[in-house]
Chains A and B, each alone.
Chain A
Amino acid sequence: MKQFGMQFFFSFGADFENSLHLLKFVSDELLRTGIVRSTYCDALIERELLYPTGIVLSECAVAIPHCEVEHAVTPALYVIRPSRPVQFRQADDNAVLDCELVIVMVVSDPAEQVRFLRPLFRALQVSGTLRALIAAKTANEFSTTFMRRVALFESDHQITGQINRENNEGGQT
């Protein structure tokens, strides 16, 4: 599924032994579909070890694994609802978090993709979004809930995003 200038992948109800298992699974599929380069898997795993990506959101813990842009071919998001929580270390603390949702972000151009990532996190911050995602009973319900929630904020953001860019261009020239 392609939208907001990104390719979307969803995984619902799969069982992962641990974060390493999950990251390998995701990397394999992203490599097979031409989204990432062959260096991606090692880079993603190493990056998670050095700089973990678990974050505490209002309704549950989420991990957002990602790595440097040179391993990406096309921007993408891989959204995973595992059958049971997967442990990731917390990005800004020493804790280990039981993550009920994992969003692997393939970023090729941060300045461009922030226009989508910001509305994504705004959507996740709003009360009810994560609850609805976790409560989804089927893969279809999960992916449609995700896309619908993000779309609400994406359309809002387009306007402010444009204003911001104009301001910035004005300021820099």
Chain B
Amino acid sequence: MKKIVVACAGAVATSTIAAEEIRELCNANHIKVDIVQCRLAEIETYASDAALICSTARLDRTFGSVPVVHGMAFVSGIGIEEVSKSIIDILKD
């Protein structure tokens, strides 16, 4: 089970959409995931054992070695294939 942290400013709208898309993407690729949705400020609380962090808002900080993926593509549709591919690549290992 891999943990994914999906964040946006208020955990109200865009990260909820991104989280659903990622859940479906992982289901389709038979990757078991535990998705935690949170606000930007709360990422540190969940990041330590995460396999991936996805943010739909601008994120200028890093979280050790945990890879960060930009998730606005799940809302806008622009670049969604590239983002999906990089998420799968990160989780596959």
Residue numbers of A with Cβ under 8 A of B are: 47, 50-51, 55-58, 64, 66-69, 91-93, 105, 107, 110-111, 113-114, 117-118, 121-122, 124-126, 160, 164, 167-168
Contacts and interface: CB of A to CB of B under 8 A. Distances in A.
Interface string B68-86: 0010100111101000000
Nearest to B59: A92
A164 B27 CA distance: 9
Contacts of B72: 55, 91-92
Interface of B: 8-14, 16-17, 19-21, 23-24, 27, 56-58, 70, 72, 75-78, 80
B75 A93 contact: no
Contacts, number: 75
A44 B75 CA distance: 20
B16 A121 contact: no
Given A64-B13, A68-B10, A55 B23 contact: no
